[in-house]
Amino acid sequence: MIQLPDINEARRRISDVIVNTPLVRSPGLSSGTGVEVFLKMEHRQKTGSFKLRGATNAISHLTEAEKIRGVVTASTGNHGRAVSYAATAAKVRATICVSSLVHENKIAEIRRLGADLRIIGNSYDQAEQEAERLAEHDRMVMIHASDNPRIIAGQGTIGLELLEALPNVATVLVALGSGGLSAGVGLAISSLRPSARILGVSMDRGAAMKASLEAGHPVEVEELPSLADALCGGIGLQNKLTFKACQSLLDDVILVSEAEIAAGIRYAYDHEHEVVEGAGAVGISALLAGKVTALKGPVAIIISGGNIDMPLHRRVMAGDPTIFQQVG
């Protein structure tokens, strides 16, 4: 597992590329919960999500020989966009494998940034199998979306920034998919502020890390459509890093429903004037739904991404009930 010095090194490597995103107090959530609540605005990152941190760190470690071979990855959208951005900047060929569930707006951005895009199957796991095949067959460098020490260290830089802005943070809410964000932020926070509680938040439909933690080992789950699409997909049965990290670093995992995710998206827009995607809203959703027990402040919520399909955002804002028929 990576250590705090790896996160500090990642910060040095990516400092010229990423944005030190603001930590903003939420008056509404603070008033509603009775504790101070702050939002870490990672959706304002250059590619619209925190994923640029890990991708930039991973690309920066490539040897000249690896750069010639090119990189390949699987993604639910945001990681692919970040790898495309970082690889193009480094003049490295990138192939991104996604499933048919990925929204067109994320696909369009990956293509615009210059990557070779391949749409494979109906799940993240199928897309990842194709990425691994390409890595072996074409000798490309596989950059896993989360289970990669360089990725984890890059995401951990968020924790360093958060603690500098809010040294006395008591509770941190982190969107939980395959665990790269939780592992990195969890390591940074627990190393420097061990009294803080670190809570993972995921959707209640196919939350692979939650199911794996309950089983005591990585397991497969059925991938289902969700407003928090960036959190979908498995963690990999051969997971080497993020499962153990989440097992040791997370104090709890909270699941939110699709209706609660929609409420979080609406709250972010109506009260914070921010456009966020479902995965970026889950921390807000958990607070609004009263699902954080023994809440202590100050609270920091990492708003992980804002790359929502805008027609979908308009439907969420309008309270369109057919959204839940499509994800239900």
CA–CA distance, 131 with 123 (Å, rounded to integer): 13
CA–CA distance, 58 with 120 (Å, rounded to integer): 24
What is the per-residue pLDDT for 328? 56
Parts of the chain with a pLDDT under 50: none
- 8 Å CB contact between 93 and 87: yes
What is the per-residue pLDDT for 21? 98
Q: What domains are defined for the chain?
A: 4-46+148-327 (3.40.50.1100), 51-142 (3.40.50.1100)
Helix (H, G, I), strand (E, B) or coil at 165: helix
What is the per-residue pLDDT for 1? 78
In which region does residue 170 sit, left (phi positive, over 0), alpha (psi from -120 to 50) or beta (all else)?
A: alpha
